[in-house]
Chain A
Amino acid sequence: DAGVIQSPRHEVTEMGQEVTLRCKLISGHNSLFWYRQTMMRGLELLIYFNNNVPIDDSGMPEDRFSAKMPNASFSTLKIQPSEPRDSAVYFCASTLYFNGATDTQYFGPGTRLTVL
């Protein structure tokens, strides 16, 4: 299995531009998580989905951020408009089905976003 795939691996953009990060789940997994990691705040959960349905988006920082799962194996995280403070490494992770504490998450390699 190829594992969780994220693209792009690096993204540099200018303030005000729209940014779209992509994630492909491990085949057969039904839960998808988006995280953001910065030096200041560490690793933060932004949102997670079960079977394409957003379950908890309380970590999404503001309306500029949106996440979707157009199908069972793919997700996007969009930032519009982007700001310099959005600069971070964004990880997605997947698991079989997140219905409790016994499910481990498999993380992708991350997308390093720099907003100038």
Chain B
Amino acid sequence: DAKTTQPPSMDCAEGRAANLPCNHSTISGNEYVYWYRQIHSQGPQYIIHGLKNNETNEMASLIITEDRKSSTLILPHATLRDTAVYYCIVINNYGQNFVFGPGTRLSVLP
């Protein structure tokens, strides 16, 4: 069962790119990397996911290393509203082990 490790907290200046790392060194071939975030007092919100290729959507980009042992979520132009806890999780094709770790608390500073 793959587990993830993330830094507990990070700061980012408003308007700059926020790069949030995640280590998943025990990930197996059929496991996807997912990112969610949770803004204070709200339910988690889906951001992006990927298997091995880099992905981009309107919210963020996901860069997965070639060996798939780590990934980086990039918020290209962070705003104050991006202040939240960001969770990196891995999940297999059977939907098992959907476990949220403690995540990274991102603070976007004015």
Contact = CB atoms under 8 A, between A and B. Distances in A.
A42 interface: yes
Interface in A63-116: 91, 93, 98-110
A43 interface: yes
A106 B43 CA distance: 8
Contacts of B103: 42
Interface of A: 4, 33, 42-45, 48, 55-56, 91, 93, 98-110
B46 A105 contact: yes
14 contacts: A4-B43, A33-B98, A43-B87, A44-B99, A45-B98, A93-B43, A93-B44, A100-B93, A101-B51, A104-B46, A104-B49, A105-B44, A106-B46, A109-B42
A41 B98 CA distance: 14
A43 B100 contact: yes
Contacts of B32: 101-102
Chain B: number of interface residues, binned into ranges: 20 to 34
A98 B95 contact: yes
Interface of B: 30-32, 34, 38, 41-46, 49, 51, 87, 91-96, 98-103
Nearest to B31: A101
A55 B95 CA distance: 10
